[in-house]
Amino acid sequence: MSAGVGVDLENLWIRFGDFVAVRDANVNINGGDFFSFLGPSGCGKTTILRAVSGFLEPSEGNVLIGGKNMRGIGPNKRPTALIFQNLALFPLMKVWENITFSMEIKGASSAERRKRADELLDMIALPEQGDKLPSELSGGQRQRVAIARALCAEPDVLLLDEPLSALDLKLRQHMRTELREIQKRVGITFIYITHDQGEALTMSDNIAVMRAGVIDQIANGKTIYNDPNTAFAASFVGENNVFRGKVKQVMGNEALIATNRSGDLVARISTTNQGKMKEGDDAMMFVRPEAFAIAPDGASGDHFVTARVNHEEFEGNAFNIFTEGEGGKEIKVSIPNHGQSFDDHTGQNITLEYETHNAVIVPAGELAAE
């Protein structure tokens, strides 16, 4: 899997005037990986990508592509191709001219270009659409043309800046699979930017979670989902219920938290924070909606929570229960639907239970905005 060309960011800082857009980013991207930067809007994802593609010189630190320092090398000399957030297809050129623009630059003949364009059009499943103008294509087709145009340049690293954000949900889900397949076929490194955690989780080998210029966590999707190392990562990736409190007692890899809302609860300390948390620290405990189960009434202990049900909804694959939580927030509970009978609890107090290894404790910190 490491046949392709890797990308490394070393102590990367990017400033615009006084504003720090990227703060000390250190990332190692393996060759041939599908790597995602995941973060909310404005956190600096595009900025990092522009630094990799060469449109922006880092204020400090280095970008290495295939181990080679890229400082001072312009975008037209780097082995990268960027798929722009708005695609940036050339509106006056036909599809085939768009796709083979990189060959035109190198002086390839028209016949060669047409041949290559036809190959690529076949690959992106748009055969014989080469003579159309970009404006005559649908959004998804344009998307694929942009990919073909970038691939035609035979880059070692393909950079994609939220390429699916303009598409409707169905097409987006379809393109996810397609992109992943294309990546496997061509075998080059993909660096993918998104604020959609679903996209990041489904496609990526590894994900970097970004928050306001800082990279919080780099890991594969499963780790990020199950073992987030910051409050932000825990709350940004997937749905999560938060319980604030103070560490009361550390017991190996687990800790007892005195929560503001539900008394003392026990949970696993997230891997990277193990050994770093001590008694009296502000902490947050996260429990996923699907990690809760309804316990018999009256049960109590350090992994039980009682709450009053506000409302319930049926989502098809699950029943969702929303209960009163801390500070006006709701606790969401998701019970998988196996066809069992389901009582309406609205207005009642229920007791919820979780298994301690399914709840995770991180140091208190900033949460992702809703």
Partner 1 sequence: MNNSFLRISIWVYLVLFFLYLLGPLVIMSITAFNSSGFPRMSPWECLTFQWFGELFQDQRILNGIKNSLIIGLGTVVLSVAMGLAGALMLTQIWPKLRATYYTVIIAPILIPGVVLGISTLVFWDRINRMLGLGADSFLSNGIFLTVIGQSTFIASYCMLVLVARLQRYDMALTEAALDLGATHAQAFRKILLPFMRPAIASAAVLAFLASFENYNTTTFTFGEYPTLTIELAQKVRYGITPAISALAFIIVALTVFFALLNEAKLKRQELVAAARKNATVEELAGKIKLPSFFAGNMAAVLLVVFAIATITVVGTATAYDPGQCIADVREQKQLEAEQRIQELRKQREERREQREAEEAEQGGAQSTPKPSNNSGFGNVFAPNSLGGDEGESDDGSSDADPAPSNNSGFGNVFDPNSLQNDE
Footprint on this chain of partner 1 (rule: CB under 8 A) = 53, 55, 74-76, 80-82, 84, 86, 88-92, 101-102, 104-106, 128-133, 136, 149-150, 153
State which residue, 39 or 134, has the beta carbon closest to ligand ATP: 39
Which pair of tokens denotes residue 141?
């087709």
Count other C-beta atoms under 10 Å from residue 185's C-beta. 10
The contact pattern for ligand ATP, residues 12-31, with x = CB under 6 A and - = no contact, is ----x--x-x----------
Q: Which two tokens stand for residue 297?
A: 């009434």
List binders of ligand ATP among 34-53 (CB under 6 A). 39, 41-47
Residue 49 φ/ψ, nearest 5 degrees: -65, -40
Residue 294's φ and ψ, nearest 5 degrees, are -80, 125
Does 53 bind Mg ion (CB under 5 A)? Our answer is: no
The amino acid at 291 = A
In whole angstroms, what is the distance from residue 23 CA to residue 15 CA? 8
**Partner in contact with 44, chosen from partner 1, ligand ATP, Mg ion, none, beta carbon below 5 to 8 Å by kind:** ligand ATP
Beta carbon nearer to ligand ATP, 117 or 164: 164
Site for Mg ion in 80-109 (CB under 5 A): none
Nearer to ligand ATP, 19 or 338 (CB): 19
Closest CA to 306 of 320, 291, 321, 295: 295
Rg of the Cα trace of the chain?
24
25 binds, among ligand ATP, partner 1, Mg ion, none (CB under 5 to 8 A by kind): none
- For the window 176-195, what string marks contact with ligand ATP as x by the rule CB under 6 A? -------------------x
How far apart are alpha carbons 96 and 347 in whole angstroms? 62
Dig out the tokens for 366 from the structure.
Answer: 């900033």
Among 46, 53, 240, 270, binds Mg ion (CB under 5 A): 46
Q: Which does 76 bind (CB under 5 to 8 A by kind): Mg ion, partner 1, ligand ATP, none?
A: partner 1
Give SS3 for 289.
helix
**Partners of 27 in beta bridges:** 9
| Stretch of residues binding Mg ion (CB under 5 A), selected from 45-53, 114-122, 253-261, 274-282 | 45-53
Least Cβ distance, residue 5 to partner 1 (angstroms): 16
**Minimum CB separation from ligand ATP for residue 163, in Å?**
12
Residues near 177 by Cβ (< 8 Å), separated by ≥ 6? none
C-beta of 300: minimal distance to ligand ATP in Å?
A: 44
Please name the residues in contact with 349: beta carbons below 8 A apart, sequence gap of 6 or more. 306, 307, 308, 309
Residues between 316 and 355 that touch Mg ion (CB under 5 A): none
Tell me, by CB under 5 A, how many residues bind Mg ion: 1
Burial class (CB in 10 A: 0-12, 13-18, 19+), 203: buried
Residue numbers at the binding site for ligand ATP (CB under 6 A):
16, 19, 21, 39, 41-47, 195
